[in-house]
């Protein structure tokens, strides 16, 4: 949100105070920051949209990695005091789960290929340093914010790159994909419901919707999209 506010101030348009949306699963579902005045053009909207989630995801990865280092180097007695996240949640992110496997090793997130797999997923808790827990959850929350749908940051980025007609089609595909992923993920299904009821409308008009964004913004959007896919696609 600090990145959002910094970009909005530098580009000369006003936004509302962020409204945090709570979640029983992750503590926070997202935050809603509405535009009070119109951005100058598509480039300004793209910069505003991508700044918050991208800074958030990079910061989350750093926090997760440092938290995993603290987890791996802690003694057994200290590890027992750490909070635990269910194995089922940790496996819902290929990027987050892959980092946990990399730092903690020993196939910590592996699930046996047997009839007992569902029971293992439901009952196993992985102890992680609080900083690693915060980093993992924040990574997923920021990645969800970049899903291209409606008035989310991802929807704004889609609007800036593909225009209003193109972004409407992308919103439909994104919502359908979230619903399908939600069959196996309560977190994704909850976010799908949040988008449908709270964030499905398109953003307010820009002062100039004719000029397209430059190629550098497209590259940043592709990089951000790659991180989103790595984060939200579950581990196999």
Per-residue pLDDT of the chain (236 residues), as tens digits, is: 899 999 999 999 999 999 888 887 778 878 889 999 999 999 999 999 999 999 999 999 999 999 999 999 999 999 999 999 988 889 889 999 999 999 998 788 887 666 465 565 557 889 999 999 999 999 999 999 999 998 999 999 999 999 998 998 999 999 998 898 888 777 788 888 889 888 888 889 999 999 999 999 999 999 999 999 999 888 87
Backbone phi and psi for residue 15, each to the nearest 5 degrees, phi listed first = -130, 160
CB 33 within 8 A of CB 16: yes
pLDDT at residue number 170: 93
User: Among candidates 11, 87, 6, which has minimal Cα distance to 54?
Assistant: 6
How far from 118 is each of 79, 87, 209, CA to CA, in Å? 25, 11, 50
pLDDT at residue number 118: 56
User: What 8-state DSSP symbol labels residue 35?
Assistant: B
User: Among candidates 127, 27, 126, 49, which has minimal Cα distance to 81?
Assistant: 127
Which position has the token pair 């940790």? Answer: 90
């Amino acid at each position: 949100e600090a990145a959002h506010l910094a970009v909005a101030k530098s580009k000369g348009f006003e936004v509302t105070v962020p409204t945090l949306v709570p979640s029983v699963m992750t503590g926070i579902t997202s935050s809603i920051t509405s535009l009070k005045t119109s951005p100058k053009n598509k480039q300004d909207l793209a910069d505003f949209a991508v700044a918050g989630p991208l800074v958030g995801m990079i910061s989350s990865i750093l926090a997760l990695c440092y938290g995993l280092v603290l987890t791996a180097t802690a003694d057994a007695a200290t590890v027992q005091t750490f909070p635990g996240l269910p194995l089922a949640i940790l496996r819902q992110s290929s990027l987050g789960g892959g980092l946990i496997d990399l730092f903690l090793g020993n196939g910590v997130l592996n699930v046996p290929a047997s009839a007992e797999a569902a029971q293992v997923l439901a009952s196993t808790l992985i102890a992680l340093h609080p900083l690693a827990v915060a980093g993992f959850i924040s990574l997923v929350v920021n990645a969800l914010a970049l899903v291209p749908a409606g008035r989310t940051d991802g929807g704004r980025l889609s609007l800036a790159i593909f225009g209003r007609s193109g972004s409407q089609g992308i919103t439909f595909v994104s919502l359908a994909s979230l619903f399908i992923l939600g069959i196996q993920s309560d977190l994704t299904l909850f976010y799908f419901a949040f988008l449908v009821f709270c964030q499905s409308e398109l953003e307010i008009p820009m002062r100039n919707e004719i000029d397209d964004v430059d190629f550098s913004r497209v590259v940043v959007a592709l990089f951000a999209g790659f991180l989103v896919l790595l984060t939200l696609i579950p581990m196999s």
